[in-house]
Structure 1
Amino acid sequence: MANTEAALKEAMTIDGAIGAALVDYTSGMALGTIGGGKDLDLNVAAAGNTDVVRAKVRTMEHLGLKEEIEDILITLDTQYHMIRLLKSRGSNGLFLYLALDKQRANLAMSRHQLRKIEAELEV
Structure 2
Amino acid sequence: MASLVTEIPAASPADAAVHFARKLSLETDCWDVHASLKSGSPDFVLLDVRGPAAFAQGHVPGALNLPHGKITERRMMEWPEGTLFVVYCAGPHCNGADRAALRLARIGRPVKLMIGGVTGWIDEGFALDSGS
Short-chain TM bin: 0.3 to 0.5
TM-score (norm. length: structure 1): 0.32
Higher-Rg structure is 2
User: Quick one: higher RCO (CA 8 Å, sep 6+), 1 or 2?
Assistant: 1
Greater share of residues in helix: 2
